[in-house]
Amino acid sequence: MTEHLTAAPKPTPTLPDAQTVTSVTHYTDRLFAFRCTRPRSLRFRSGEFVMIGLMGENGKPLLRAYSIASPSWDEELEFYSIKVPDGPLTSRLQHIQPGDPIILRPKPVGTLVLDALLPGKRLWMLATGTGIAPFASLLRDPETWEKYEQVVVMHTCRDVAELTYGADLIAALPEDPLIGELVGDKLFYYPTTTQEASPRMGRITDNLASGKVFAELGIPPLDPATDRAMVCGSLGFNLDIKTILEGAGLCEGANSEPAEYVVEKAFVG
């Protein structure tokens, strides 16, 4: 069961760069999502991140990079976070309530953007844990569906409950008034667990390397002519997946030089 708190936005407090938390949803004892007001001036590309945080006890802002999980058209901002018991920020951030202030530096950046990839047929979104956050944004952006014939989402967590945020989001896509029709039959969702038994198991890296995911989804193996990939997860995952993507002939791209795949580290701590 997820615990969901919500409230009408209160006026933004007078801290510099302060926004107001509008809702908080706890998924597990390790994961939660929250929404907050969006500065009118903030423009971002789906998949980018910003610095957010709280005022530290020393009076200085305590900020960390967080992917924006909401799409660029949303009037609020959404973030998805891990709770680290002794993490300087998340040990406090996990207790935020609707109406609380949150600091947001309105300078979005990042490489997990559609512009950093060359045109292709199929987009792979490869995420572990909270690495699903930038994809929560991109999956709700019409441009993603306009640019690609197929979108494959592989998300791996330790247990089933940790997949809930992504699973709920994916389940809501076909009913989405803005993109439901665009999604059509383009979406392939491949969630797996690694530590709790579930219908689909195994690390993303193993399921790609063994060919299992291609066989089960009826999709040909990775090909630099057709396939593009965006990667967001732990450091170890990002390194291991790069080896697989490079092995298949895909090259890493950037905003300045689009190519076949892009990588970003999911926020931890």
Q: Which residues bind ligand A2P (CB under 6 A)?
A: 128-129, 156-158, 194-195, 203-205, 234, 236-237, 240
Report in angstroms how near the CB of residue 161 gets to ligand A2P at its nearest.
12
Contact 4/49 with Cβ under 8 angstroms? no
User: Could you tell me the smallest distance in angstroms from the CB atom of residue 97 to ligand A2P?
Assistant: 26
Q: Give the residue with the Cβ less far from ligand A2P, 98 or 129.
A: 129
- Pick between residue 204 and residue 213 the one whose CB is nearest to ligand A2P: 204
| Consecutive H or E run containing 229 | strand 227-233
Closest distance to ligand A2P from the beta carbon of 248 (Å): 16
Between residues 13 and 236, which has the closer beta carbon with respect to ligand A2P?
236
Closer residue to ligand A2P in complex, CB, 77/154 = 154
Q: Which residue has the tokens 């979108």?
A: 151
Maximum Cα interatomic distance, the chain, rounded to a whole number of Å: 55
For residue 69, the minimal CB distance to ligand A2P (Å) is: 17
Name the nearest CA neighbour of 109 among 261, 268, 269, 264: 264
Q: Least distance from C-beta 66 to ligand A2P, angstroms?
A: 16
- Nearer residue to ligand A2P within complex by CB, 101 or 191: 191
Q: Is 72 left (phi over 0), alpha (psi -120 to 50) or beta?
A: alpha
How far apart are the C-alpha atoms of 101 and 12, rounded to whole Å? Answer: 7
CA distance 232 to 197: 24
